[in-house]
Amino acid sequence: MEAWSRFLDTFFNPDVMERYFPAIMKGVAVTIEIAAAVVVIGTLLGLALAVMRTFRLLAVNALIVVFVDMFRALPPLVLVLLAYFGLPNVGINLPSFAVLWLVLALVLAAFAEEIFWAGILSIPRGQWEAARSTGLGFLGTLAYIVLPQAIRLTVPPLTNRTIAITKNTALGTVIGVGEILNQATTAQSFSGNATPLMMGAIAYVILFIPVVVLGRFLETRFAWRRI
């Protein structure tokens, strides 16, 4: 019984909870802001790159592939540290949240480009030819025929990847972005109690469980139809 109350006191201490609730909520707001900015810029940039790739300009495509491969192969934390500590020395001073946002948006753009491109490639050539023969131009075919079908196919893999990358906002704690984990660890060291960490974990679960469940729903709803 005593062990149980000590456990509650350590991980679910009501006084500590009350004291640090505002700080954790501030962290939640920062996490949501950065995550939203990452998702918007990352997917749009990824789509733009995939569309650019359909023009099949050799040099441009080579650059896109190199960018995409590098950002898919490098751990995001490596990129965050590189940008945060390296850029100021070459005269680029960015606040830490901007570094986190930029790095995660580029990582998402790389994965999104690959997914959109696979979607575009999966549209049969006959669709292109039929659309062109009705008099639609290249861009018209892309915008009205190919992309609507391709994007539908990309919803499940893109959702899962987006969830994984927005969770990386927690990496911001390493460079002092005031997101949930950062607020939680700061509060934990001030209070000498593990309750804030528990609150942080709970905040993440509340934020992300709906997205994870939505991701699974989309996966069945928009399943890749294999022939």
Partner 1 sequence: MEAVMQQFFNLAIMERALPLILGGLKQTILICLIVIPLGLAGGLAFAIISLSRLRILRWPAVAGIDFFRAIPPLVLLIFIYAGLPFAGLRPSPMMAVAIAFFLNTSSYYGEIYRAGIESVGQGQWDAARSTGLRAYQTLAYVVLPQAVRNVLPDLVSNTVEVVKLTSIASVVALPELLYSADMARSVTFNSSPIVLAAAIYLVMLWPIVRLISRLERQIAT
Contacts to partner 1 by CB under 8 A: 7, 10-11, 69-70, 72-79, 81-82, 85-86, 89-91, 114, 118-119, 121-122, 163-164, 167-171, 173-174, 180-181, 185, 188, 193-194, 197-198, 200-201, 204-205, 207-209, 211-213, 219, 224, 226
Please identify, using beta-carbon distances, which residue of 40 and 122 lies nearer to partner 1.
122
**Closest distance of CB 137 from partner 1, Å:** 25
Q: Are 115 and 155 in contact (CB under 8 A)?
A: no
**Closest distance of CB 18 from partner 1, Å:** 19
Eight-state DSSP code of residue 173: G
**Closest distance of CB 82 from partner 1, Å:** 5
Please identify, using beta-carbon distances, which residue of 6 and 137 lies nearer to partner 1.
6
Eight-state DSSP code of residue 82: I
- CA gap 141, 126 in Å, rounded: 12
Eight-state DSSP code of residue 187: H
- CA gap 67, 69 in Å, rounded: 6
Sign, Cα dihedral of 26, 30, 36, 39: negative
Eight-state DSSP code of residue 170: G
**Closest distance of CB 135 from partner 1, Å:** 28
Please identify, using beta-carbon distances, which residue of 130 and 205 lies nearer to partner 1.
205
**Closest distance of CB 132 from partner 1, Å:** 20
- CA gap 5, 8 in Å, rounded: 5
Please identify, using beta-carbon distances, which residue of 10 and 139 lies nearer to partner 1.
10
Q: What is the CA radius of gyration of the chain?
A: 22
Please identify, using beta-carbon distances, which residue of 59 and 90 lies nearer to partner 1.
90
